[in-house]
């Protein structure tokens, strides 16, 4: 049942590989990389639209976690937790 709410992997290997860079690089890290020249490696790409979407998703998850049952996951069965998360999302939607 948790397959309905989990993010599927894209291919084999560790789950964090293949995920594009979302958070902007710090200015001191950029300066250090530029000082190294060709040994500094490839600069990470930063997509501003992607970063805005990440912020929206994080705020939505934080609102869901305001519901104690979602944050602590007391439910033993996956289908019960899915119902709890759905109820919390409905309450957020109805209050907005």
C-alpha gyration radius of the chain: 19
Which of 51, 57, 50 has the alpha carbon at shortest distance from 7?
57
Local structure of 6: helix, strand or coil = coil
pLDDT reported for residue 88:
93
Domain positions in the chain are 45-96
Structure pTM? 0.55
pLDDT in tens, 7-57: 666 666 566 656 666 778 888 888 888 888 888 777 777 788 888 888 888
pLDDT reported for residue 93:
93
């Amino acid at each position: 049942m948790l397959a309905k709410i989990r993010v599927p992997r894209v291919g084999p290997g560790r789950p964090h590989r293949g995920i594009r860079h979302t958070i902007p690089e710090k200015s001191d890290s950029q300066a250090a990389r530029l000082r190294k020249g060709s040994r500094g490696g490839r600069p990470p790409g930063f997509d501003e639209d992607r970063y805005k979407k990440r912020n929206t998703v994080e705020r939505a998850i934080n609102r869901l976690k305001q519901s104690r049952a979602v944050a602590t996951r007391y439910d033993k069965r996956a289908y019960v937790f899915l119902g709890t998360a759905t109820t919390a999302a409905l309450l957020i939607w109805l209050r907005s």
